[in-house]
Amino acid sequence: MIQEEEYAKRRNTLAKTLKKHSIAILFSAKAKQRSNDTEYPYRQNSNFYYMCGFKEDNAVLVIVKKEKKVKTYLFVQKKDELLELWTGKRVGEKVAKNIFDIDVVLTTDLFDKKVQEFLKDKYNLYFDFTMQDERVDKLRKIGSHLSGYKNIASKVARLRLCKSRDEIKLIKKALSITKQAHHIAMKKAKSLHTEDELQAELEYVFKKEGAYSDAYTSIVACGNNANTLHYIKNDECLKNGKLILIDAGCEYEYYASDITRTIPVSGKFSMAQKELYSMILDVEIEIINMIKPGVMRTDLQKKSEELLCKGLVTLGILKGDIDKLIKKKKYKKYYPHGIGHWMGLDVHDEAPYKDKKGKEIPLMKGMVMTIEPGIYIDEKDMNVPKKFRGIGIRIEDDILVTKDAFENLSRDIFKEIKDIESL
Ligand code: GLY
Ligand code: MN
Ligand code: MN
């Protein structure tokens, strides 16, 4: 769990980056209507949650800075017996005041009036530009009368780059559940009939073990379906002799995990599948071993392209001079995506890759990134030896940058051929 002191510390750090005379406004996520009076499951906005840990809808966090003095406000929805009968208990302003280390807790119906009061003085107004709804539109209008408005999202994003000890604990917990799910998938694949049946097995483990939900829609792609990078239909049969690419991870207490394993339906890899899989696994391990503070993500990208390109030549999938092939980016057809991304409250964490001057940010202690090389060969690709056609393989782990190297947070999730086959 993230302690209240940590949230308070984050707010103080954020306040320090604001101009002397400022007001920062962060809204909770809005419930999304599915149809009529039915809603999608509610998930708090990550930036809002990061700054205060409040889980309910219709809430606003306000940070007011006057010279060096900082005052925080949290607006929460009013207690309402009738509505609570339908949608569940609300924390309410009285209890919220006890739980949260916030100077003033008010009900959300007072927010509009209060904002007008705050803005009587000419403040710099900060809000989240990534949000698009009528609450933000109103602020834009107000902001145009002031000295202008600024984006708070990019400032929060910078704070989110490096994870604290307690955040890492939550990611580890998410991964321990995701591990169970992937191992169950390895055990059961042979006995199941369809991709969505396998998806259900994974997500059953997520829920049963206390994860809020998946961190993104699970990809369960058998055979050639794995060559669609974000395949989420998951409605086809599992065919003996084929591989299944499973990209699935749970979200635990708002923290993501993001894991891909590629396993044989039958329980045994064919020779061709083994050849391609081993090549990608070797590359994945080599790239992970490069990770330490100071290294650039683009170095990892470049190295992964070189190694995969070499591997493709060795296997006869690409032909020609390796240096020329790399220069002409011929591997792109088979390795079209990046080596990895930041991960945290969001699977593709909203943290920057470049600093304010546009310079790449090197790896630093506390960052968490995925490493996920993959090779995808369409079944109709006549340039490739027949035995490799219709195979898509990705192997993905979640890596913490430590003081002088890295910790593979998902090292216990089987990926060696012999281990996968043993299950
Ligand atoms: N699961 C999405 C990704 O690997 O980036
Ligand atoms: Mn990923
Ligand atoms: Mn993934």
- Residue whose CA is closest, atom 4 of ligand 1? 258
User: 360 forms bridges with which residues in the sheet?
Assistant: 354
DSSP string, 359-408: PBPPP-TT-EEEE--EEEE-TT-TTS-GGGTTEEEE-BEEEEE-SSSEEE
Q: Does the beta carbon of 342 lie inside 6 Å of ligand 1?
A: no
In what helix (H) or strand (E) does residue 159 lie, and over which residues does it extend?
A: helix 153-160
Q: Does the beta carbon of 214 lie inside 6 Å of ligand 1?
A: no
pTM of the model: 0.97
The predicted pLDDT at position 145 comes to: 66
Active site residues: 37, 230, 247, 258, 337, 341, 348, 372, 376, 394, 396
**Residues contacting 107, CB < 8 A, separation 6+:** 75, 76, 77, 78, 93
Residues of the chain short of pLDDT 50, as ranges, are: none
The predicted pLDDT at position 212 comes to: 83
389 Cα: distance to centroid of ligand 2 (angstroms): 24
In what helix (H) or strand (E) does residue 8 lie, and over which residues does it extend?
A: helix 4-16
**284 by DSSP, 3-state: which?**
helix
If you search the block for the tokens 């394993």, which residue do you land on?
A: 261
The predicted pLDDT at position 130 comes to: 85
The predicted pLDDT at position 121 comes to: 77
The predicted pLDDT at position 34 comes to: 96
The predicted pLDDT at position 386 comes to: 98
Q: Does the beta carbon of 251 lie inside 6 Å of ligand 1?
A: no
The predicted pLDDT at position 146 comes to: 66
